[in-house]
Structure 1
Amino acid sequence: MILPFWLGLGLAHFVSWLCRGCSAWRSKAMQPSFLPPGSAHATYKEAILFFLSETAPTSAYSSPARSLGDTGITPLSPSHIVNDTDSNVSEQQAFLVVVAIDFGTTSSGYAYSFTKEPECIHVMRRWEGGDPGVSNQKTPTTILLTPERKFHSFGYAARDFYHDLDPNEAKQWLYLEKFKMKLHTTGDLTMDTDLTAANGKKVKALEIFAYALQYFKEQALKELSDQAGSEFENSDVRWVITVPAIWKQPAKQFMRQAAYQAGLVSPENSEQLIIALEPEAASIYCRKLRLHQMIELSSKAAVNGYSGSDTVGAGFTQGDKYVVVDSGGGTVDLTVHQIRLPEGHLKELYKATGGPYGSLGVDYEFEKLLYKIFGEDFIEQFKIKRPAAWVDLMIAFESRKRAAAPDRTNPLNITLPFSFIDYYKKFRGHSVEHALRKSNVDFVKWSSQGMLRMSPDAMNALFKPTIDSIIEHLRDLFQKPEVSTVKFLFLVGGFAEAPLLQQAVQAAFGDQCRIIIPQDVGLTILKGAVLFGLDPAVIKVRRSPLTYGVGVLNRYVEGKHPPEKLLVKDGTRWCTDVFDKFISADQSVALGELVKRSYTPAKPSQLVIVINIYSSEHDNVSFITDPGVKKCGTLRLDLTGTSGTAVPARREIQTLMQFGDTEIKATAIDIATSKSVKVGIDFLNY
């Protein structure tokens, strides 16, 4: 029998309990028929006797050789996976409307659809403000707090108000932008993770994300109420929040916690909120595109015989595969789907991949160019001393960045704020024009109108590192057997609007598959997220991004287990640190497919069981001490409220874990009382 490192039971209490309940050991659950063929695991009596510990039930696990036990449980049966969709699908609440929030790195927005009119998707009202020539059906992901750290404004309103502040006054206000990337780049994300405002001051990330979601909640409910002619209640809404597919579980949990704090939903009604993966949302929407709603880049001939009113799906046959390239501001997500007809359900063929290759990479290259011309020390000081002017400079660059194109011949002019020119002269003692002459950067010139004049080649060079990373990642993906026969490549996301990226993708893959760009490419994820909220079961099969499991003890086998893992206790030889796998990286998992485990508390009165969860990017994991294996979270079973008047000496707690959804979920039941057990999976506070 497989044994975990989770027993923390005082000796005197244990002996008393064991004497009273020894007959329980003859239960069917412990007969050899429950063991895997050829297993050499301990009996339960051996397990309990071995895991004697005088530490508290909540003591943290270090190693069995150093601290025997975590929280007082022992398994009743080995893990196995069952297809039990109905058992874990609660009755769906009847929502009147689905509201999706596309929380992007550079821009955000919301859209909605009434459940009685699922095909009619309404994009939020046009935002006030915006830049000339830039679509403003989304608003910048920017937030402004007062000097007292109270929410002031979001989006264009925040940006414009901050722009109009006196430079000295602006230093007191907290302005944040592009902060979503913090959740991807922070390896040790917690509820206390900080963000840095433009003025250098720190603020809790959870607070900022909650403010942003609360803003969208209020905007959406107001618009819904105005349209309906009566006040819309939050309970009428199913909320959907989009996140990159390459985000790990802590970042997804963080967004959910922010939604709780923002009042979108409560932990008691967690099913009211769905986390949608951005490329999946795009995939769902792209299936329904009419042919006149898309632009085809590839040289691959389209199938003849379709009219403009046909959907892309009309060109699908059973088993067709396609790639979705979601290129946004912060990240690029790649996902591969296979169509299942006639329902149009989707199956993920390869685990989502990608990286930080969004359009922010172009901004970073521009910043490096400014370092080269004016000096890194000056640029960093300018950001701190003139934060509003730095924002103005990057807004000016964003406008010119959107004008970059492969066939452009005339220069692009970027206006430098007056405060930049003035502060540089005070900082260096000479002019901006002098700096340009001395920098040896030939492709950037100075204009007497106070502008940097960049040649088209200079602007294109800023795009090259980011685009090269995307193309290289796509080439690696196309080498996989599951991807080699894809029929379509959908290029979506805000960065997909860039002609330079479009040309690069077309040149690299246009002869392999049909490359399609939706005409409303910047709203593809937003609209797809609404469709996902209306039908969360449309993705039937996903791939696990990581291997998950727990640490256990096995009986030591000479020649199989390494000597350093040997632990002898009361004459019995044990192998420590064994990785007991729940699911493997890149393993296909159907929606509703469950991993079943049964545990028993070390004593009947125990109220809480906490189990450490480990993960790895590799699938051939043997021990929790293997390279790349790390503790990633905890599974907490709260047994309060399940105890009856007669608690059996040995209580079986059956736990069901689901890995086929966008978030890892778990439920549990006390077999003796048939009562539900409160379960929590925590990837942030473990």
Structure 2
Amino acid sequence: MGNCSSSGEVERNFAEKQRQRGAVPANGQPVHGANAPPAQQLYSPAAAGLYANSAPTQQTYGQQPATYNPNTGQPWSNGPGAFDPAGLPAEAIQPNTLPQGAMPPDMQLQVGSIARKAGEVLIMSYDLGTTACQCFEAPNHRLDEADGQIGFGPEVVDQWPGQTASSQGKTPSILFYNTAGQCQPDWGAQCLAHKWSPSRLASLGLTKTEWYKLHIDPATIPQEHMTGPTRQLPPGVSAFQVYTDYLQRLHVAAVARFQTRRGTDLFSRLTSQDRVQYILTIPAAWQKPSIVGELRKCAFKAGLIKDEQSTSLDFCSEPEASALECYAAATQLPLAPNDIFSVVDAGGGTVDFTTYQVLTLHPTFMMKEVDVGATRCLYRGGTFVDRSFEEFLHKKLSQEYPGVYQERHLTRGMKEFTTSTKLQFSYVNRQSSFLQLSEGDEFEQGCIELQWEEIEQCFKPHVDAIVDVAKRQVNTNAGRSKVVFCSGGFGSNDYLLDRLKAELPGIEVLQPGDKSAGSKAVSLGATRYGIFRSVQSRTSPAWYGVKAFRTLSTEDRRLAGAVAHTAIGKTGKQILDDTFSVVLPFGDSVGDDEWRSSKFSIEISDTATNTKQGKLLIYQSPRFDKPIFVDDAGVEFMCQVDVYIPPHSQGRVVVSTTGERYRAYGITVLLSLGRADLRSRVIIDGVEAGGATITWEK
């Protein structure tokens, strides 16, 4: 194993600089050749294997080890030690810009620098929500033109197993598990059948599992939201396993519904031709490469894709999907190029916030994300209002009707609230409401009257938090938002809409279409995302960097923590160890398909006879302040990138103070972080060596 040192140089857009040098074609990807910038040679830490990663979970993105031509999969024709770029066959000097398993050239269409399938394509978008899930299908799209042409749809899967009639297209996020941790056949709406009473579940040893989504990224969730037996994971079952189990059932049902509508032949043919594109939506808080890496595994295990590296799967953030659909649904929208607009996507569990700037309106709508607020995701969705109301109603009935109140009254009252009272509650029309609790003579002909102020106390703390973030979100460095779109299931609530209008003077607050459209915005927008990428750039939500070291300088000695991180390198010079070498800064705008690069030096023992391999450890920090060391507060290990040294790379001989010989190789690591997926590529001593193996932290 080798260790890496940093040159201290970060290139904002390596592809752009290479293009200016004439070494990169118009698709924006670096290539092989002598025009690549030389990697600087620096020192290495004292001990090899210093940056080991314990108990990793491995995910591989393409490319053979560098002893092979990464484009052909065959050994380098020149042979080890005889590399000459001018003497390479033509296929060996072409850029390998896609992961292994990517589409052949005749199935790709370059739109906005993104490789996409051309011709007839089926797009299936899945929105796995905290409380309910949804799927849209867009079959027979012709992507021969930049803006695509719709053959059918998009169409919502409007009936799921357990539903006797067409629904709004959603099914509950519920599963059952036995004591052995095995997922049971019934799922979603099937779990709401009368036969699944709490007493029967207990007698069968089954656990009802809901809200599993909260456990995907538990560090961001207030602990009070995790209480309750149905919000706990089944014993011995991980959140990602529950996600996989649910996604598998959702996918099977969605495919069956598609085949019922369009026939089995169409789906089979498109699948065999690799012309089915899957889009999974994720909350803004999940836009972390480590989480997305695990979700790729889930999709593979659930049967969506044939291998983890498949380009048939992509991820779209929920607020971005909402932004695409809200804009498409709005009529006579008062936006022009350079205008700013914000999205408040309020679902059942999460409320996501993003802000965009319009780039162009015609011939296609293009936008870029601007700024990153301190809060991008709140757990204040509609279900939290339900929970507050349930606590209020239980207390009210216990105190005011102690001799009458039974659990069935609470169940009936909650059903009435979630299906009627909650939807009609308004900030403007302050009228009392009657709540049906029974069909008998209990209470006042089965009803009780609730004052407006009583109901508002269940909404107010959650909506206050949403409004507070929205007020900060609309003010950006690029200007103030002109429009705020309020989408999602809870986003269609009049009380929330009225509050946003009252608290955001001078800003137009809109909902997409009718009230049912808001709950479909994420799935519909994700389908549009699969057709055409309107978002040209996004804002980095964190610092991303590589664990490295550098020669100790006079300025370094004044850094807090410098003494604890000072060591002696192989050549006997003092080094500053465990530094956070930035590849992508927090808040930086990064293109959808942009590669960021930084230069390092990896030193490997000169006695190594097998495949030479180095490693880079990638860290992230969501804090505003730039990290100095990888053990600073808030810095988290993200993944390990294994780098394979091609046999033609000679490197530079380094002799340690003890007489040991090492080979130093100049490494330029390129990371693509413009989308949710992390992609990596490396250039070794000025020659691209293809991709790398990514090993995720569990």
Secondary structure in 2 matching 1:125:
coil
Q: Counterpart in 2 of 1:632?
A: 637
Q: Counterpart in 2 of 1:239?
A: 278
Distance 1:610 1:60, change over 3 A: farther
Given that 2:604 and 2:612 are in contact with CA atoms closer than 8 Å, whether structure 1 keeps it comes out as no
1:617-665: CA deviation from partner (whole Å, max 9, x where unpaired)? 33542522575332231232263xx755998766565532111113322
| The one of 478, 481, 498 aligned to 1:482 | 478
| The one of 446, 461, 464 aligned to 2:460 | 464
1:552-588: CA deviation from partner (whole Å, max 9, x where unpaired)? 2222223543352433457522223322111111111
Distance 1:263 1:59, change over 3 A: closer
2:367 pairs with 1:346: yes
Residue 492 of structure 2 aligns with an amino acid whose one-letter code is E
2:133 pairs with 1:108: yes
Identity %: 19
Q: Counterpart in 1 of 2:386?
A: 363
2:427 pairs with 1:409: no
Q: Counterpart in 2 of 1:252?
A: 292
Q: Distance in 2 between matches of 1:620 and 1:246?
A: 19
2:344 pairs with 1:321: no
Distance 1:171 1:401, change over 3 A: farther
Distance 1:515 1:495, change over 3 A: same
Given that 2:538 and 2:589 are in contact with CA atoms closer than 8 Å, whether structure 1 keeps it comes out as yes
Q: Distance in 1 between matches of 2:234 and 2:434?
A: 34
Secondary structure in 1 matching 2:311:
helix
Distance 1:349 1:161, change over 3 A: same
Deviation of residue 607 (structure 1)?
5.2
Secondary structure in 2 matching 1:662:
coil
1:247-275: CA deviation from partner (whole Å, max 9, x where unpaired)? 24143333322212111114354311111
Q: Distance in 2 between matches of 1:390 and 1:515?
A: 34
Given that 1:325 and 1:491 are in contact with CA atoms closer than 8 Å, whether structure 2 keeps it comes out as yes
Given that 1:141 and 1:177 are in contact with CA atoms closer than 8 Å, whether structure 2 keeps it comes out as yes
Given that 2:5 and 2:602 are in contact with CA atoms closer than 8 Å, whether structure 1 keeps it comes out as no
Q: Distance in 2 between matches of 1:590 and 1:568?
A: 39
Q: Counterpart in 2 of 1:230?
A: 264
Secondary structure in 2 matching 1:518:
coil
2:326 pairs with 1:286: yes
Q: Distance in 2 between matches of 1:186 and 1:452?
A: 40
Q: Distance in 2 between matches of 1:405 and 1:513?
A: 18
Residue 155 of structure 1 aligns with an amino acid whose one-letter code is G
Q: Counterpart in 1 of 2:671?
A: 657
Q: Counterpart in 2 of 1:39?
A: none
Given that 2:627 and 2:635 are in contact with CA atoms closer than 8 Å, whether structure 1 keeps it comes out as no
Deviation of residue 409 (structure 1)?
2.7
Distance 1:165 1:481, change over 3 A: closer
Residue 140 of structure 1 aligns with an amino acid whose one-letter code is P
Deviation of residue 176 (structure 1)?
1.8
2:560 pairs with 1:526: no
Q: Distance in 2 between matches of 1:334 and 1:548?
A: 22
| The one of 102, 112, 116 aligned to 1:92 | 116
Q: Which has the higher contact order (CA 8 A, sep 6+)?
A: 2
Q: Counterpart in 2 of 1:160?
A: 193
Secondary structure in 2 matching 1:330:
coil
1:89-124: CA deviation from partner (whole Å, max 9, x where unpaired)? 675344620000111112211001122343731111
Given that 2:596 and 2:670 are in contact with CA atoms closer than 8 Å, whether structure 1 keeps it comes out as yes
Q: Distance in 1 between matches of 2:479 and 2:96?
A: 32
* Matched ranges for 1:445-456 at <5 A: 447=443, 454-456=450-452
Deviation of residue 146 (structure 1)?
5.4
Deviation of residue 87 (structure 1)?
4.6
Residue 142 of structure 1 aligns with an amino acid whose one-letter code is I
1:357-383: CA deviation from partner (whole Å, max 9, x where unpaired)? 2113213323543675699xxxxxxxx
Cα RMSD (Å) of the superposition?
Answer: 4.3
Q: Distance in 2 between matches of 1:323 and 1:461?
A: 27
Q: Distance in 2 between matches of 1:177 and 1:183?
A: 13
Given that 1:145 and 1:153 are in contact with CA atoms closer than 8 Å, whether structure 2 keeps it comes out as no
Distance 1:128 1:153, change over 3 A: closer
| The one of 180, 192, 205 aligned to 1:172 | 205
Given that 2:177 and 2:234 are in contact with CA atoms closer than 8 Å, whether structure 1 keeps it comes out as no
Residue 125 of structure 1 aligns with an amino acid whose one-letter code is D
What is the count of residue pairs matched by the alignment? 565
Given that 2:618 and 2:641 are in contact with CA atoms closer than 8 Å, whether structure 1 keeps it comes out as no
1:34-86: CA deviation from partner (whole Å, max 9, x where unpaired)? 66xxxxxxx54xx24x5234x6884669xxxxxxxxxxxxxxxxxxxxxx999
Q: Distance in 1 between matches of 2:232 and 2:630?
A: 43
Given that 2:539 and 2:590 are in contact with CA atoms closer than 8 Å, whether structure 1 keeps it comes out as yes
Residue 333 of structure 1 aligns with an amino acid whose one-letter code is D
Deviation of residue 589 (structure 1)?
0.8
Deviates further, 472-481 or 456-465: 472-481
Secondary structure in 2 matching 1:336:
strand
1:114-140: CA deviation from partner (whole Å, max 9, x where unpaired)? 2234373111133476799x9632122
Deviation of residue 551 (structure 1)?
2.6
1:421-455: CA deviation from partner (whole Å, max 9, x where unpaired)? xxxxxxxxxxxxxxxxxxxxxxxxx8266766533
* Matched ranges for 1:30-41 at <5 A: none
Q: Counterpart in 2 of 1:567?
A: 567
* Matched ranges for 1:349-428 at <5 A: 349-351=370-372, 353-369=376-392, 395-399=415-419, 400-406=421-427, 407=429, 409-413=431-435, 415=437
Distance 1:455 1:85, change over 3 A: farther
Q: Distance in 2 between matches of 1:638 and 1:556?
A: 26
Residue 365 of structure 1 aligns with an amino acid whose one-letter code is S
Q: Counterpart in 2 of 1:77?
A: none
* Matched ranges for 1:146-225 at <5 A: 149-161=182-194, 163-164=196-197, 166-167=199-200, 169=202, 172-186=205-219, 197=230, 201-202=234-235, 203-225=237-259
Q: Distance in 2 between matches of 1:586 and 1:318?
A: 22
Structure 2 segments unaligned to the other structure (5+ residues): 7-32, 56-93, 99-112, 143-148, 399-406, 652-662
Distance 1:675 1:168, change over 3 A: closer
Q: Distance in 1 between matches of 2:614 and 2:383?
A: 44
Deviation of residue 523 (structure 1)?
0.8
Deviation of residue 414 (structure 1)?
5.7
* Length-normalised TM-score, structure 1: 0.71
Q: Distance in 2 between matches of 1:185 and 1:666?
A: 27
Deviation of residue 491 (structure 1)?
0.8
Q: Distance in 2 between matches of 1:575 and 1:57?
A: 15
Deviation of residue 280 (structure 1)?
0.7
Given that 2:425 and 2:493 are in contact with CA atoms closer than 8 Å, whether structure 1 keeps it comes out as yes
Q: Distance in 2 between matches of 1:344 and 1:488?
A: 16
Secondary structure in 2 matching 1:337:
strand
Residue 337 of structure 2 aligns with an amino acid whose one-letter code is Q
Given that 2:39 and 2:668 are in contact with CA atoms closer than 8 Å, whether structure 1 keeps it comes out as no
Secondary structure in 2 matching 1:285:
helix
Given that 1:321 and 1:488 are in contact with CA atoms closer than 8 Å, whether structure 2 keeps it comes out as yes
Q: Distance in 2 between matches of 1:354 and 1:118?
A: 33
Deviates further, 159-168 or 578-587: 159-168
